[in-house]
Structure 1
Amino acid sequence: MKYVLMFVETEEFGKRLEEMSDLEREAAYEAVGRWFAENSDKITHHMHLAPAHTATTVRLGDGEPVVTDGPFVEGKEVVSGYAEVEVADLDEALKMVRSWPACPLVEIRPAS
């Protein structure tokens, strides 16, 4: 079964990352690299996204679409990356996510 894991950064997580020393930040990035390496047999694609302020949002509805700079919602949580995975079931995806070493939120969605 295919799932997309969306890695969600919170404002608090971003602040903690900024406050880390270079060595601490490097260790955090290395932990993420290890997670991807350990799960490489299940990950079919992954991508780190540019910061939310670089987004362009198109709001559809009645009338003409409205194009604005910035993320879809003004929130304290933003999707910072994603991974497409091929696993047996949701339980296997949950097992993978439980070991995710970075962002404090991961949304899992079935993909078709």
Structure 2
Amino acid sequence: MFVETEQFAKELAAMGELEQQAAYEAVGRWFAENTDKITHHTHLHPVHTATTVRLDQGDPVVTDGPFVEGKEVVSGFAEVEVADLDEALALARTWPACPIVEIRPAS
């Protein structure tokens, strides 16, 4: 999961058009270079577009916004097929965008 911080979002917003374009191109290259390992990926819409359904309070409660407010938000994810955690870590270390990458096994 790619985790965006408030600081990263501010820095990206402050970039000029050419700088932003270069940043997005770097992400595109990363996906292209790792296409043999990536089985699925998506970019999530901004956190303010979220709708949360709470099921732990009797009747379901629907609210606008994320389930928790935070300075770090998941902005996207990629499913990858790798042999082990070491290979996943090597791949994560090359990610050119958000400053945090969380790795979780999936079944």
TM-score interval (norm. to shorter): over 0.9
| Percent of residue pairs identical | 79
- 2 CA distance for matches of 1:63 and 1:94? 41
Higher normalized strand content (fraction of residues): 1
Task: Show structure 1 runs of 4+ deviating over 3 A.
Answer: none
- 2 CA distance for matches of 1:35 and 1:85? 13
- 2 CA distance for matches of 1:62 and 1:35? 42
- 2 CA distance for matches of 1:71 and 1:56? 6
What TM-score do you get using the length of structure 2 for normalisation?
0.98
The Cα RMSD (Å) is 0.6
Instruction: Give SS of 2:95's match.
Output: coil
Bigger relative contact order, structure 1 or 2 (CA pairs below 8 A, ≥6 apart): 1
Aligned to 2:23: 28
Q: Which amino acid aligns with 1:76?
A: K
- 1:1-112 correspondence runs (5 A): 6-112=1-107
- Structure 1, unaligned stretches of length 5 or more? 1-5
Instruction: Give SS of 2:103's match.
Output: strand
Work out the number of aligned pairs and report it.
Answer: 107
- 2 CA distance for matches of 1:43 and 1:28? 20
What TM-score do you get using the length of structure 1 for normalisation?
0.93
